[in-house]
A = this chain, B = another copy of it.
Amino acid sequence: MASKFFANEVERLVAESIDGMLSLNPNRIARLEQGWPNQKVIVDRERHKRWEAKEAGLPVAVLCGGGSGHEPAFAGYVGSGMLSAAVAGDLFASPPTSAVVSALRNTITESGALVIVLCYTGDRLNFGAAVEAIRVETGLDARMVIVSDDVALRVKGAGEVRKTSARGLAGAMLVLKAAGAAAAAGLPLGDVERVATLVSDSVTTMGVSLTSCSIPGQTRPERTLNMDEMELGMGAHGEPGAIRSKLEGLDKIVETIMTRVGCVGDFDEVRRGSDVAILVNNMGGTTMLEFSAVVGSVRRQAEELLGCKVVRLYAGTYLSSLDMKGFSVSLLRMPDGSGGEELLRFLDAPTNAPAWASHLDQPGPPTLVPATRSRLSPATSFKAADASRTADKNMVSVHKAIERACMAAIQSRDTLNHLDACIGDGDCGSTFARGASQVRDSEAVRAAQSLHEALAVIADVAGEAMGGSSGVLLKIFFSAMASELRNDPDRDDIARAVTSGISKIMLYGGATRGDATMLDSLIPLSETLNAGGSWQEALIAAEDGCEATKSMAAKAGRASYVPGDSQMGVADPGATAVVLILQEILKGI
């Protein structure tokens, strides 16, 4: 576990973190100026403006809070339709009563206030004392709902959960969302409390982790899990889990968790066929790669193992435990009928709270769509795309040239391997020869009725056969030439096509002239052709270019990893291949 931190001073980290979140959302959330940073109170800015203006009929205030280290909880849930205020403590420590009183003082209205806390002694006491204090101070109604969704320590079959043993976990975020929406809908305090209690009573959570977390500024003895261990039933602070066991495969872990949160065989076992909402919480240190796989397994097993219909699936970092590598699953049993519809409406209601992802898709199995060859050319040949592409007249000489080129490449194998051995792994000749053999033997190449069709097929065949960077580069070169050509190309058309192929090699490959690659033969070749030179003159230019690679230090490709000195005097094998092949082709023209 990392115990290095991005921080100025550890003592200021929580305050600076809150200010960072505020600076991302200065129009949505604000903090109370007085008491800072001992009292860390974040309020819904828009609501607070209306509150300050003594606007009548403001909805019930909904508050939550707790220790820091659980970001984005709880400041991230402050906003319209969710929390009126959040109170943050220091790292994993409850805020003082005075901070909660201040939060209540600055949000409560005639409609009253509902305070929601996750069941931890410090939070219950400090938030509780504040609720009682504000009642005395204002004579207004303030109430508390305590969320105890952890089922890890629950005694199987027990009719009632022992309050002190059930911690509050990420399921509480669904309580906040529903209660916040109920308040925003204008419900009276008693009804907001009823909604919060309903969700709190209906949600069960269990977590698993592979590591504990590292706490800035704390050098407590690190509880380490062995490499083959995991802990099930974690709290939110790195405290020991209920069960330490062998690390298992993901589906098996999820099966264990789903069985527990579904209370299978227990007094509130989730009913098969019923609707559920699920929240999968990343405890902070699980990679998004793994986490998505977790989410997929959870959804599948909720349906297949528990027989439930997953109507909503929340996935993300809702209540982190600093950098703990773990996740938890919260299962919310939706009531039947109109109660379920009402609850879904509250869960779906819009909010501008920074950390609540509002636009949720309806979950389901992955959607697969059939791949078609192309909408535009449902036939099987590239030719379908362009009706103007028909047969070339002089295909006999084209096929002869291809045959010669392939022979040249095959016969040059040892020469090229030898050159490559001086600067690379000595397989350049073999690679070219392999591609050339397959091109020579290809039925599709033989069937090509135009130079551009032949080049397109060669691009595929050679690219596939050669593999590696050189295969892809030749594929790019020949494809680009094929794109450029039309039927019965003349010398100028071919020169343009070669130029196009070169530019694409440079674009995608990132090399340029003077890097000791095949470009050092190809570029002089194309320049000579484009300047009106003959093929023989172009060949000479290519040969000169190839010769020049003997005094170059490779800057691209594999040879660039070899010290420059040891390359001196050796021609680049790619540049040499171009020359050898070109020489052979020109013999036949």
Contact = CB atoms under 8 A, between A and B. Distances in A.
Given A97-B472, A292-B17, A385 B8 contact: no
B137 A504 contact: no
A211 interface: yes
Interface stretch (A178-186, A260-268, A282-290): A282-290
Interface in A125-183: 125-129, 132-133, 135-140, 144, 146, 163-164
B366 A325 contact: no
A487 interface: no
Contact of A289 (B17, B135, B373): B17
Interface stretch (A46-54, A194-202, A233-241, A408-416): A46-54
A41 B386 CA distance: 26
Contacts of A8: 249-251, 293
A359 B367 contact: no
Given A8-B251, A472-B97, A20 B121 contact: no
A163 to B, nearest CB: 5
Nearest to A133: B479
A102 interface: yes
**Most B C-beta atoms less than 10 A away, residue of A17, A109, A327:** A17
A93 interface: no
A27 B14 CA distance: 39
B1 A2 contact: yes
Given A26-B363, A97-B463, A361-B25, A210 B289 contact: no
Nearest to A254: B6
B361 A359 contact: no
A531 interface: no
Contacts of A106: 369, 371-372, 374-375
Interface string A357-384: 1110111111111111111110000100
A498 interface: no
Contacts of A359: 352, 358
A371 B33 CA distance: 6
A394 interface: no
A349 to B, nearest CB: 15
Contact of A227 (B3, B45, B459, B510): B3
A482 B136 contact: yes
Interface string A23-43: 111111111111110000101
Contacts of A456: 136-137
A31 B292 CA distance: 15
Interface in A88-106: 91, 97, 102, 105-106
A483 interface: yes
A427 to B, nearest CB: 18
Contacts of A71: 287-289, 292
Interface string A328-368: 00000000000000000000000010100111011111111
A148 B269 CA distance: 54
A504 B108 contact: no
Contacts of A374: 105-106, 108, 137-138
A320 B41 CA distance: 32
Contacts of A325: 2, 4, 323
A382 B138 contact: yes
Contacts of A33: 368-371
A459 B136 contact: yes
Interface stretch (A294-302, A544-552, A580-588): A294-302
A137 B382 contact: yes
A7 interface: yes
Contact of A472 (B3, B4, B129, B140): B129
Contacts of A69: 287, 289
Top 10 A-B residue pairs of the complex, sorted by shortest distance between their CB atoms: A20-B296, A128-B508, A132-B479, A22-B366, A71-B288, A20-B292, A30-B367, A139-B385, A26-B364, A32-B371
25 contacts: A1-B2, A4-B211, A4-B247, A5-B290, A7-B290, A8-B250, A13-B293, A16-B292, A20-B292, A20-B297, A22-B366, A26-B361, A30-B366, A30-B367, A30-B368, A41-B371, A71-B289, A91-B289, A106-B375, A108-B375, A121-B510, A125-B473, A129-B472, A136-B459, A140-B385
